[in-house]
Structure 1
């Protein structure tokens, strides 16, 4: 079994982020994690929808 996880958090940019946007960002991060060869998690970065991988 494999798992790919996308993480999105609010913070300084919270005023620009409703629930739908937060889910969209988590989705972007999840698909970025799925592109990897192994089980992984990715944290969404708001700067241009970049995602940073973690292990």
Structure 2
């Protein structure tokens, strides 16, 4: 089941969609690093650098 969907653009725009009333926190630092924390204390970091996307979970 999908807990959260994060879409990051080059201009630093962020769209977060959460499901099942889970808590999702999004922090945008210098329009480069986006940290998403939530869903049973698990954390997912989405880092964008020069249009490249890296996902850590």
Structure (1/2) with the larger helix percentage? 1
TM-score by length of 2: 0.26
| Structure with bigger RCO (C-alpha 8 Å, 6+ apart) | 1
Structure (1/2) with the larger strand percentage? 2
TM-score by length of 1: 0.27
